[in-house]
């Protein structure tokens, strides 16, 4: 298993022919962030590998997740009558979130600046982005938390899925059209949330208890913005781009079945995880919300990474992610009825297995592509230059 090769020879051959094609029409990105990133990238030394910048940004997102997990493990810290997250934590999280977002914006510019752009760099970037979704959403949840003034853990679970499906839509588009249409919601959400973290440190979480307009609470605004952005911006634009490609006869897959194959595993993951929540004898989501979110987000990231490999190599996406098999078995066992502590053990075991499997997948894919392209993933030196 240690030497298992996830990328097939056919996919490696497809990577050799790959050409990056992306469209960014977001005004915030085009007129504000890109000029800012163009300035920032000049600070980095030319010997600094782009993938190291990408990985550093990802680690900052993970650090924010772990920091907030320490101060708000069960999402009650922002509720009235509970010990709140210290103000300095909100400041740190806000700054690091914006720094991580900035690093994610300059890594590609550093690659072009140092003439080191490779398919591995794009795969590495987008693969980590797919895993960052769950870290980002769950960390944001602590602003409102649960309780009388917050959002229920089940509502946050649904909002997490809105974000996950919004993310995968972009790569589903590219799988079918050959062009990555960068979503508007990403830049807007990153800048807004970074600002909200800092504001929370200044005004305190109590400020979010008050109505935003009439009886419309800030938590309702938070929920409405996520759903509204997905339904009114992300989904319509994805379908429009897909339709345009269809009209221009540039779709890469002719049948409806082949076009939607990449969505099978994410949809099945949603069905199985939701079934577990609804059938859980111990109300597992209420008991371990953070772990459950992480389990779902990790399984989703693995399916998304497989899709990205396939769309970049112009190969067929797998119909089923085999990580869903143990999840199906766990849901089946839970439906038969188990003790509360057994269900918790199953959740933690499955989460650990998913995490190790996903890390193994990522490490092996990076090693395969590094060997194939004869590059070091975190250095600009060539192997034959040693």
Q: Are strands 180-181 and 22-23 parallel, antiparallel or unpaired?
A: parallel
Calpha distance 141→10 (Å, rounded): 42
Q: Quick one: DSSP state of residue 22?
A: E
Tell me the backbone φ, ψ of residue 90, rounded to 5 degrees.
-60, -40
Place of tokens 């859980």: 280
358 is catalytic: no
Helix or strand run (H / E) with residue 181: strand 180-181
CA 291 to the chain's CA centroid: 16
Residues 6+ apart with CB under 8 A from 166: 183, 185, 229, 230, 234, 235
Determine which one of 84, 126, 171, 358 is catalytic.
Answer: 126
DSSP letters along 360-372, please? HHHHHHHHHHHHH
Place of tokens 């309780």: 147
End-to-end CA distance of the chain: 29
126 within 8 A of 308, measured Cβ to Cβ:
yes
β-pair partners for 213:
216
Tell me the backbone φ, ψ of residue 226, rounded to 5 degrees.
-65, -50
- Token pair, residue 92, equals 């740190």
Place of tokens 């080191």: 116
β-pair partners for 211:
217
Could you give the angle at the alpha carbon of 40 between the alpha carbons of 38 and 41, nearest 5°? 70
CA nearest 197: which of 145, 150, 139? 139
151 within 8 A of 208, measured Cβ to Cβ:
no
Calpha distance 144→150 (Å, rounded): 5
Could you give the angle at the alpha carbon of 131 between the alpha carbons of 168 and 334, nearest 5°? 90
Kindly list the catalytic residues: 126
């Amino acid at each position: 298993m240690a030497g298992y090769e996830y990328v097939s020879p056919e996919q490696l051959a497809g990577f050799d022919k790959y050409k990056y094609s992306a469209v960014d029409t977001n005004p915030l990105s085009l007129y504000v962030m890109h000029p800012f990133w163009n300035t920032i990238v000049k600070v980095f030394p030319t010997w600094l590998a782009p993938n190291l910048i990408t990985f550093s940004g990802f680690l900052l997102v993970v650090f924010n997740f772990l920091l907030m997990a320490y101060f708000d493990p069960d999402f009650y810290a922002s509720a009235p009558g509970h010990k709140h997250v210290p103000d300095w934590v909100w400041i740190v999280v806000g700054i690091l979130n914006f720094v991580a977002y900035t690093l994610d914006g300059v890594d590609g510019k550093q690659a072009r600046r140092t003439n080191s752009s490779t398919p591995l760099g794009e795969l590495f970037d987008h693969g980590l982005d797919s895993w960052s979704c769950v870290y980002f959403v769950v960390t944001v949840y602590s602003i409102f938390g649960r309780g009388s003034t917050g959002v229920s853990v089940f509502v946050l679970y649904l909002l997490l899925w809105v974000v996950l499906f919004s993310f995968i839509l972009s790569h589903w588009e590219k799988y079918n059209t050959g062009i990555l249409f960068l979503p508007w919601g990403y830049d807007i959400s990153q800048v807004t949330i970074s600002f909200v973290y800092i504001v929370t440190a200044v005004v305190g979480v109590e400020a979010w208890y008050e109505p935003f307009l009439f009886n419309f609470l800030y938590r309702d605004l938070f929920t409405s913005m996520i759903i509204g952005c997905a339904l009114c911006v992300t989904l319509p634009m994805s379908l429009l781009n897909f339709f345009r490609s269809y009209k221009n006869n540039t779709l890469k897959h002719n049948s409806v079945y082949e076009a939607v194959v990449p969505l099978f595993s994410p949809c099945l993951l949603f069905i199985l995880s939701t079934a577990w929540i609804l059938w859980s004898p111990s109300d597992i989501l209420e008991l371990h919300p953070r772990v459950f979110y992480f389990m779902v987000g990790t399984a989703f990231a693995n399916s998304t990474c497989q899709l990205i490999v396939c769309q970049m190599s112009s190969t067929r996406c797998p119909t089923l992610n085999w990580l869903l098999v143990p999840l199906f078995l766990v849901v089946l066992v839970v439906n038969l009825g188990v003790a509360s502590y057994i269900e918790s053990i199953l959740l933690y075991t499955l989460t650990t297995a998913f995490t190790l499997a996903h890390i193994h997948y990522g490490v092996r894919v990076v090693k395969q592509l590094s060997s194939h392209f004869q590059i070091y993933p975190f250095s600009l030196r060539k192997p034959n230059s040693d």
